[in-house]
């Protein structure tokens, strides 16, 4: 008998991944990845060859549609299911990745007049060229005491919608003038699938400052730039706010043709990759902190009430699951710090030994580091090599290591780096708890969860049990679950999580003796954290990089 | 016509080097090295196989005599001079390397009853197992306000004579009881050469606390341990104090047989390797700071008056040249920090590139580092990987690096390490100057002076001109000069330095633009230096290494 299925599509930074999932039990029947042909556009604009300034990062929306046309049919084929058994589709996306469009959804960059204008393209989350605009937004919001500011840890990011839109206005007013809609990639894709323009509550809340039923008001926007006063009314507001897991519409004939899926099946509201992973890992109850651990780590937790947590990325009502306040926090460098170390600071003998053992260098170093007693290396690291998101919100901080001796070896530093990221997570947990958001247990997803030495360290350092997601495609699975809810198979995302979510519980359990030993190291981490948090040393060193002599 | 010659012998940690030098112009006519067969005895005692405790380091005095028997004749042969043209001999030695002997000079370890007793052997300078004794000496001297304590920067070292002698007394009273003389290796060798027991003013002052005409008194020693009260009277005092460059006696028949040198030629007072280098490099006038730059750096300077300089190793009247107050300071880690980095933190691509260029990794990294603007790497290092001698006198400090980002590369860190050692030297210069000992210019000797990137950095960071010694065997040349003075060829060491010393002046001249840029980095170094000087973080991390979990 044919099983009812749903399709989830996860749009990452470099590719999109489609997965076909059974609605009944979450079985992943088939999947396919499609790389974006234009990847990240950060050097020159393909349409004109124009050099882009530093910190720019654009994409081409045609790449997104190619994923629908290529990866979805391929996943269906791998699954070996009949397309007619698919009853819903949902997507998640990087965020904030907004793009300017006409009222009918046509991206501005597709118009002949605008294809050579960089500002007509989607600005990828890691486009960091709107920092000046973000700084002004923060300064003004602070002055005026805007009530939404504390919902974002006191600071909004240059990555988000308003800073990027203001940059468009100021740097290419014609693009700003011509654009009729300013829309997140997630919502734009849902629009392409369903024909319905919406604003999903997740990106609206975390990236577009939608709080207590409203976007920032006309007064505030006009005070930033009088031409910006009507931004929300004219280019953002209007379409319905869509609750996560809600059915936005039926799949259009056009989208059915692209994907090979049946016309009219449920299309769910858009979502964000990290947030959508929470139900996939069954980490949606208050007290359960989801860690999505990759190059960086994203922390997601639900609470019963809104609270002001220092350095959090944001708290949004219904931002993760309807009915709860969803909190997001982040560590800006985790796996990328380990990768930097392995690429830049490990001598040949370790490369040779790893090769001889048939393992990669991370595995080899982790194995060596894992043999050590806690504190044996005598080192403490501040894990700020790419700044600190939570709890300090300062991207100009930098990494520090103390305790080096002539006896320090590569595995010592590698272990100290791993520990420092665990200490960074503990700081975030403490910030949540002292703000009234309890953290009872950890649920981990992402590429780093395969490292048993690292994961045991997190359990010991945080004194929390760690459960692991049992899927290698958490976001796409999470999207598929939202599709199942939108299709009416499960009454809500909680029920979908119970039926389709996948978690292996209690994989790592804290050891009290090691935890106590880590307390002593963590005390040093905290001291250094507080001593260097003001950036006095690190900001100045960063500025010295620019000095000529 | 035959030239008059002298022989200098430099006794290092692992070998002895003899050099034959023309008295007239310092021409180095021939040299030879002989490795000590027993090298450093730090694992087990060869005579018994007994395991030695940690931090022990002994030597075998027969090895020293072998140098006389092997290296001196070989150097003569290489020089192609007639032994009859040699008119004097002098030696320098590591310090403090004391040994217990009978009244006739026989080392205790040569007696059958004592050859299996570790305490009967010479304790090499780097024997660090008398720290507990040194701590007690310092505490008691502080309590009693002993006037000699400030002459040693407020702290005497576990490496020196009194701590080591007290360790002998407490751990092997029979050895202590049996020993009739407690004598520095330098003085013991002069005794073997001349038949005269002396105490040279250099080691007496720097290593045996001889100040203002006296060793520590009976009261003080008895307060440490009542059995120790008579130590100076019974085992140290008695033999004449010998001024540097003075003739101690004539070469004995026995020593003439060992060395092939003529019986009766002048034997000069003993000396210490770093101190004896000062006249060889013509760095004996007040205002000239000699840097002997190797695995560690030793700083020697003469002043007109005694002054109390924080963290100096010692100030001794006539300790470097008669008539002036000689100051010694030190950086405990310099070249060994660079070696540690190259061995432990440089990825394969750099090894490959160095090999392809046919240079060693230090040269390759220095070349890359040398291309950078000052401050470009955004890093600051505390160069305390093997503790800090001057100005903090704390061997339990450790290294620190701040400013790391994902863009940090090996040459960045290597450059920051080099800079940190230059900053360490600047701290020492500032300590001298603020204590009333002016430092006008630097004269550098030792293996690191071949690194032009490093040396220019020192000139820029310190805003001082740097002159380089023009001999690769500075200590042996310095000893030879003292032999020439003892033989009466030159009236004093100043005249010998003028005739035989070798220095290339103004090899490195500070660049004001770079110096100003370094000021900004040095301000950070100073801040970190002061913040971490109390050892609160670093001592505790060191203790954590011992904790088990």
Q: Is B372 on the interface with A (CB under 8 A)?
A: no
Nearest CA in chain A to B398: A403
> Hey, of B296, B347, B383, which one would you mutate to test binding to chain A, going by the most A CBs within 10 A of its CB?
B347
Average pLDDT over residues A442-449: 97
Band (A2; pLDDT cuts 50, 70, 90)? low
Report pLDDT for B193. 98
Closest CA–CA distance from residue B365 to any residue of chain A (Å): 13
Question: How many C-beta atoms lie closer than 10 Å to residue A349's C-beta?
Answer: 12
Answer yes or no: do B344 and A517 touch at CB < 8 A. no
User: Does residue A291 have a cis bond before it (omega within 30 degrees)?
Assistant: no
Report pLDDT for B1. 47
Of the candidates B340, B541, B545, the beta carbon closest to that of A380 is on B541
Encode pLDDT of B322-364 as tens digits: 999 999 999 999 999 999 999 999 999 999 999 999 999 999 9
Report pLDDT for A547. 63
Q: Is B541 on the interface with A (CB under 8 A)?
A: yes
ipTM above 0.90, yes or no: yes
Question: How many C-beta atoms lie closer than 10 Å to residue B145's C-beta?
Answer: 8
Q: Is B380 on the interface with A (CB under 8 A)?
A: yes
Report d(CA B401, CA B412) in Å as an integer.
Answer: 11
Answer yes or no: do A375 and B547 touch at CB < 8 A. yes
Q: Is B43 on the interface with A (CB under 8 A)?
A: no
Contacts A401 to B, Cβ<8 Å: 400-401, 404
* Tokens describing residue B219: 């009261």
Answer yes or no: do A398 and B402 touch at CB < 8 A. yes
Mean per-residue pLDDT of chain A: 96
Encode pLDDT of A71-85 as tens digits: 999 999 999 999 999
Judged by phi (left if over 0) then psi (alpha if -120 to 50, else beta), residue B506 lies in left
Contacts B513 to A, Cβ<8 Å: 549
Band (A3; pLDDT cuts 50, 70, 90)? confident
> Hey, of B350, B381, B406, which one would you mutate to test binding to chain A, going by the most A CBs within 10 A of its CB?
B406
Report d(CA B285, CA A192) in Å as an integer.
Answer: 85
Check: CB of residue A319 under 8 Å from CB of residue B323.
no
A-to-B residue pairs, Cβ atoms closer than 8 angstroms: 169
Say what percent of chain A tops pLDDT 70: 99
Instruction: List the 228-267 stretch of B: residues with Cβ below 8 A of A.
Output: none
3-state secondary structure B453-479: HHHHHHHHHHCCCEEEECCCCHHHHHH
Please identify every stretch of chain B with a pLDDT value under 50, giving residue numbers as ranges: 1
Closest CA–CA distance from residue B537 to any residue of chain A (Å): 7
pTM for the predicted model, two decimal places = 0.93
Band (A395; pLDDT cuts 50, 70, 90)? confident
Report d(CA B101, CA B180) in Å as an integer.
Answer: 6
Encode pLDDT of A508-540 as tens digits: 999 999 999 999 999 999 999 999 999 999 999
Nearest CA in chain A to B544: A375
Mean per-residue pLDDT of chain B: 96
Distance of CA A304 to the CA centre of its chain: 22
Q: Is A54 on the interface with B (CB under 8 A)?
A: no
Encode pLDDT of A469-511 as tens digits: 999 999 999 999 999 999 999 999 999 999 999 999 999 999 9
Whether the CA torsion B154, B156, B162, B163 is positive or negative: it is positive
Contacts B408 to A, Cβ<8 Å: 340, 344, 385, 399
CATH node for A5-272? 3.30.420.40
Band (A122; pLDDT cuts 50, 70, 90)? very high
């Amino acid at each position: 008998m044919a099983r009812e299925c749903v399709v989830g599509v996860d749009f990452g930074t470099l590719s999109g991944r489609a997965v076909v999932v059974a609605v009944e039990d979450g079985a992943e029947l088939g999947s396919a990845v499609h790389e974006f042909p234009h990847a990240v556009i950060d050097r020159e604009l393909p349409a004109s060859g124009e050099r882009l300034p530093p910190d720019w990062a654009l994409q081409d929306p045609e790449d997104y549609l190619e994923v629908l046309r290529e990866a979805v049919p391929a996943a269906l084929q791998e699954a070996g299911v009949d397309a007619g058994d698919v009853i819903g589709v949902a997507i998640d996306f990087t965020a904030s990745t907004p793009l300017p469009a006409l009222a009918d959804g046509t991206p501005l960059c597709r118009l002949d007049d605008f294809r050579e204008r960089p500002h007509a393209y989607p600005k990828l989350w890691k486009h960091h060229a709107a920092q000046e605009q973000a700084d002004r937004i923060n300064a003004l919001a602070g002055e005026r005491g805007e009530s939404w500011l504390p919902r974002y840890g006191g600071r909004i990011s240059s990555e988000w919608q308003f800073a990027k839109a203001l940059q468009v206005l100021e740097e290419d007013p014609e693009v700003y003038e011509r654009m009729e809609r300013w829309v997140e990639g997630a919502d734009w894709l849902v629009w392409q699938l369903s024909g319905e323009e919406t604003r999903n509550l997740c990106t609206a809340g975390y990236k577009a400052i939608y709080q207590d039923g409203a976007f920032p008001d006309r007064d505030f926007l006009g005070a930033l730039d009088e031409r910006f006063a009507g931004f929300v009314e004219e280019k953002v507001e209007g379409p319905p706010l869509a609750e996560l897991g809600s059915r936005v519409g039926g799949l259009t004939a056009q989208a059915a043709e692209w994907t090979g899926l049946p016309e009219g099946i449920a299309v769910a509201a858009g979502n964000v990759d990290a947030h959508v992973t929470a139900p996939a890992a069954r980490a949606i109850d208050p007290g359960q902190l989801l860690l999505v651990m990759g190059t960086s780590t994203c922390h997601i937790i639900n609470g019963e009430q809104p609270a002001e947590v220092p350095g959090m990325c944001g708290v949004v009502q219904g931002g993760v699951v309807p009915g709860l306040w969803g909190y997001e926090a982040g560590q800006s460098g985790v796996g990328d710090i380990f990768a930097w170390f392995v690429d830049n600071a490990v001598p040949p003998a370790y490369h040779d030994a790893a090769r001889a053992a048939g393992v990669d260098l991370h595995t080899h170093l982790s194995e060596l580091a894992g043999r050590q007693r806690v504190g044996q290396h005598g080192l403490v690291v501040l894990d700020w090599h790419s700044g600190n998101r939570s709890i300090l919100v300062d991207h100009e901080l930098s990494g520090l290591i103390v305790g080096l001796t002539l006896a320090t070896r590569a595995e010592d530093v590698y272990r100290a780096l791993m520990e420092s990221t665990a200490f960074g997570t503990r700081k975030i947990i403490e910030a949540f708890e002292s703000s009234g958001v309890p953290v009872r247990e950890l649920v981990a997803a992402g590429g780093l969860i395969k490292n048993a030495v690292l994961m045991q360290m997190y359990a010991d350092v945080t004194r929390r049990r760690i459960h692991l997601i049992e899927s290698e495609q958490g976001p796409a699975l999470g999207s598929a679950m939202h599709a199942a809810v939108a299709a009416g198979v499960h009454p809500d995302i909680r029920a979908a999580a119970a039926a389709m979510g996948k978690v292996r519980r209690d994989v790592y359990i804290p050891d009290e003796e090691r935890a106590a030993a880590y307390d002593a190291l963590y005390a040093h981490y905290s001291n250094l954290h507080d001593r260097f948090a003001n950036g006095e040393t690190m900001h100045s060193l960063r500025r010295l990089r620019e000095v000529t002599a």
